[in-house]
Structure 1
Amino acid sequence: MRIGIVILPDQRWSVAGRRWQRAEEYGFDHAWTYDHLGWRDLIDGPWFDAVPTLTAAAMVTRRIRLGTYVATPNFRHPVHFAREVTTIDDISQGRLMIGLGAGGVGFDSAVLGQAELTAGRRVDRFAEFLGLFTDVLGDEPVTRHGDFYTAVNARSNPGTVQRPRPPFIVAANGRRALRLAARHGDGWVTTGVAGVASGPSFSVPDTAEQWWESVARLAASFDEALDETGRPRDEVARYLNLDTSPVYSLSSVEAFTDAVGRAAALGFTDVITHWPRERSWYAGDEKVLESVASRLPRLRSGTI
């Protein structure tokens, strides 16, 4: 089991920079930040962009892997994003992971004045995004005219440090998105059914038990999607966001230990928690984070 943590981009670098360093010192395997122009009721800020945040994080860490959680077509274009990815992967010396999703409704999709897409059209757009993004990160110039994106002689030279490209961790809960994750993903990440809507209205199951049942169903659905594509079930890493459960994973050491064990039993290779905040989303005590960090080697090996 690998264990990661999300550090929301809601603090000035004088505070955030030390958090990224501590995540590495604590022994987390990967650290992520949200790739949004604004998020839920935190849109009034402070809020900072993911790309420069990850660039700065790469400069103050040496081992931990770094990722977007998750980049979407709501405001990312695959040609420009390929340039940003190439740069961060170079600065981090090959530690970048690219979390990718279809995007939802809400601030990110409204702030640029774009027409709201149906869920089906968002998946159509995501499929086109993934195909073009993969090709632009390749070694040959790309020209393409699609329904959503146009690229003319696009390239990402000199290419990424990781070959053929950094790993794609594809977010998916719905049937079509799961098939995209099975086809394109080096990893699959899920929030459970609670994370389907990313707009201002955000509902979770009434109980943690109901949430875990939804996670189990999604894990089985992803198995089916892999079978349909002909990929071995153990070929794609599986990431679970623990914090769309009604129980915040870092509410206590016991809660975190239980969540890691249950995720492992469902076949997940990785779990993701969130850095505690003073209030609102992911409100918690950093002392719990410190206690969990001291137990990471045993949690990772399943001996706790």
Structure 2
Amino acid sequence: MTAGTRFGVVLLPQERWPQARRRWLRAEEYGFDHAWTYDHLSWRSLVDEPWFATVPLLAAAAAVTERIRLGTWVASPNFRHPVPFAKDVMGLDDVSEGRLLLGVGAGGTGFDARVLGAPPTPAVRTRRFAEFTALLDLMLTQPMTDHVGEFYEAHGARMLPGCVQQPRVPFVVAANGPRAMAVAAKHGQGWATFGPSMPDDEGQPRRTVAQAQERWWRGLAEMVEQLEEVAREAGRDPATLERYLNIDGAPVFSLESFAVLEEGVERAAALGFTDVVVHWPRAEGVYAGSEAVLEEAASRLPQLRTLGR
């Protein structure tokens, strides 16, 4: 295992494969420990832009890379059923020769939540997520599964020959609140977060960017405390749960400059995060930035790994 903080990068599934292939290969050449793509049908401000499917993209990336771990950031029940999806997960684990990380989450309230019909209430979404994750866990750890639950059924669902990674692919469970954190504590090898949401405060004076950044870090520290409390209540040693922070949830894009990334990594490590994830810079819009900063970060990964430790 790499000493110190591990680093990952998210590549949005927007380019046709000849261009995307070069980026996935570069992510491995740069020395990143893991690379991810969003598991959505489309996403927020990019809803009318090109957007490719997750499973074939990760299969293609697995076929051309050798070392880097690959993952979903994150798969959800918004449009996935755990029975056929478990087959996809087993297949990706096979093609990657055991390099898959399965990021899972409850799903948001955007396009994916309503494209198949009316979205569920938050309480229903959380219950559905708990069952979704538990059924994936069952299916990926045994050859045949029967299950009848509130949201899903499986009748003689077979999973042969099983995962390359044993007892199954590692789950990295996205959670910002206590109920989802309980799912992470029960089923996750890792916990993933974008950190606290930052709603505008109507009627309050507009905060500076620096003030918003500090508020975000304080909120993240509170989330870490909550995760540890939930884990202990579930009988789980919090230290056994790896912690993945997508640092681009902060008000300032992590790759705005190397200095911004350096400070963020140090603060994340001090809060106990084992892994930090950034986004490959886009030319414009969300996550817009310069690839030169990404290249600088890659060239200084050994330095970054030791910060805050």
- Indicate whether the TM-score tops 0.5: yes
Distance 1:249 1:5, change over 3 A: same
Aligned residue in 2 for 1:102:
106
1:97-148 CA deviation, whole Å, 9 max, x = no partner?
00000011111011112x2211111010011111111111122311111111
Gaps spanning 5+ residues in structure 2: where?
200-208
Alignment correspondent of 2:231: 226
Q: CA separation of 1:145/1:195 partners in 2, compared to 1, >3 Å: closer, same or farther?
A: farther
Does the 8 Å CA contact 2:268/2:276 hold for their aligned counterparts?
A: yes
Q: Which amino acid aligns with 2:91?
A: T
2:155 maps to 1:182: no
Match of 2:29 among 25, 30, 36: 25
Partner AA of 2:30 in structure 1: Y
The superposition leaves residues 168-225 of structure 1 with CA deviations (integer Å, 9 ceiling, x where unpaired) of: 00000011111111111100001112289xxxxxxx9961111111110000000001
Q: Is the 8 A contact 1:6 1:32 kept in 2?
A: yes
Q: What does 1:70-219 correspond to in 2, within 5 Å?
A: 70-113=74-117, 115-194=118-197, 207-219=212-224
Cα distance in 2 for residues equivalent to 1:60 and 1:195 = 38
Q: Secondary structure at the match of 1:70?
A: coil
Letter in 2 for 1:152: H
- Quick one: distance in 2 between partners of 1:205 and 1:187? 30
1:137–1:155 contact (8 Å) kept in structure 2 = no
Are residues 1:282 and 2:293 paired? no
Q: Report the counterpart of residue 40 of structure 2 in structure 1.
A: 36
Structure 1 residue 303: Cα displacement = 8.6
RMSD: 1.6
Residue 240 (1) aligns with residue 239 (2): no
Distance in 1 between the 2:154 and 2:9 partners?
A: 34
Distance in 2 of aligned mates of 1:238 and 1:207: 23
Partner of 1:201: none
Pair 1:271-2:276 in alignment: yes
Partner residue, 1:58? 62
* Residues in 1 aligned to 2:52 and 2:65: alpha-carbon distance in whole angstroms: 19
Q: Do 1:205 and 1:211's aligned partners in 2 also have CA atoms closer than 8 Å?
A: no
SS of 2:108 mapped into structure 1: coil
CA distance in structure 2 between the partners assigned to 1:194 and 1:9 by the alignment? 24
Q: Secondary structure of 1:194's match?
A: coil
Asked if 1 retains the 8 angstrom alpha-carbon contact of 2:194 and 2:246, the reply is yes
Deviation at 1:34, TM superposition (A): 0.2
Contact 1:30 1:66 in 2 (8 A): yes
Letter of the aligned partner of 1:185 in structure 2?
G
Q: Secondary structure at the match of 2:173?
A: strand
TM-score w.r.t. the length of structure 1 is 0.94
Q: Does 1:259 align with 2:288?
A: no
Cα distance, 1:230 vs. partner? 1.2
Say which SS state the counterpart of residue 216 (structure 2) adopts. Answer: helix
Q: What is the rounded CA distance, in whole Å, between the counterparts of 2:56 and 2:219 in structure 1?
A: 35
Preserved CA contact (<8 Å) 2:245 2:273: yes
Distance in 2 (CA, whole Å) between partners of 1:41 and 1:234 is: 37
SS at match of 1:125: helix
Q: Which residue identity is paired with 1:99? A: G
Identity %: 55
Alignment counterpart, residue 6 of structure 2, candidates 2, 6, 9: 2
SS state at 1:161 partner:
coil
